[in-house]
Amino acid sequence: MFSKGHKFFVLKKRWVAVILLALLIVFGCVICTSAIKTSIQPKPTRCIVIDAGHGGIDGGAIGETTDVTEAYLNLQFALKLKKLCEEYGFKVVLTRKDMKGLYSLFAKNKKKSEMQKRKEIIEKSAADLVVSIHMNSFGLSTARGAQVYYAPESESGKKLATSVQVALHDEIEYAKLTPKEEEFYLLLCSSAPSILVECGFLSNPEEEQLLSSQDYQTKFCYALLYGILKYFAIN
């Protein structure tokens, strides 16, 4: 048989347990809610600068069997890649939006003026990365395959270049497996991780045809996007 005092003590203990449990639930909920809130914080929008090489009086390389210019194809690729990147939530800045050159009409040295403009656009955009699009050409028509370049001694450039080169190699026939170092102005003009993609050879008739095809351009740009996404996922 229990005494009244003992019963009161047991009841008191129960109340303490109930209050403690309630406090645990409340604090647990607060912690959970703040954890969920933290996990759904939107990531800051990443900015990608897509640079279509050449333009204006500088058409770049010319097709082996047609008069298609590199400047025109660079822009087609840049516009397609822009659309895909925007669909994936990136902010995209194009250096060149049409076939006009980026140089000042009054500049004596148009090439220098044009490159300066590209640099200004990259700096102003505070780019998270830069992708410059070009088409290759070579004396031997058998040369073919996409090649990605990065600036020597740029660790972030090398990581980005490797990610994109591997993605291209996986998806695009003849694309090289390993990126190369090169001191291109565009790769050196800012601190943003930067790559220059030579999408293929206009001097190779088969590749010229592929590079001019809408389907191939889309497939190629998806591979570029995949490489960019992989780079951002790891870094």
101 interacts with Zn ion by CB under 5 A: no
Q: Which of 49, 50, 52, 60 binds Zn ion (CB under 5 A)?
A: 60
User: CB under 8 Å, gap of 24 or more: what pairs does 109-117 form?
Assistant: 110/56, 110/57, 110/58, 111/58, 114/55, 114/56, 114/58, 115/185, 115/186, 115/189
Least distance (Å) between residue 186 CB and Zn ion = 10
Q: Which of 82, 96, 118, 134 binds Zn ion (CB under 5 A)?
A: 134
The identity of residue 81, as a single letter, is: L
**Which residue, 53 or 227, has its beta carbon nearer to Zn ion?**
53
Least distance (Å) between residue 219 CB and Zn ion = 21
Least distance (Å) between residue 58 CB and Zn ion = 9
CA distances from 26 to 17, 21, 32 (A): 14, 9, 10
**Which residue, 134 or 144, has its beta carbon nearer to Zn ion?**
134
Any idea which residue has 């009054």 for tokens? 106
Q: Which candidate, 137, 10, 24, places its Cα nearest to that of 73?
A: 137
Q: Are 141 and 206 in contact (CB under 8 A)?
A: no
| Residues of span 9-38 touching Zn ion by CB under 5 A | none
Q: Which of 49, 51, 53, 160 binds Zn ion (CB under 5 A)?
A: 53
Residues that bind Zn ion in the complex, under the rule CB under 5 A: 53, 60, 134
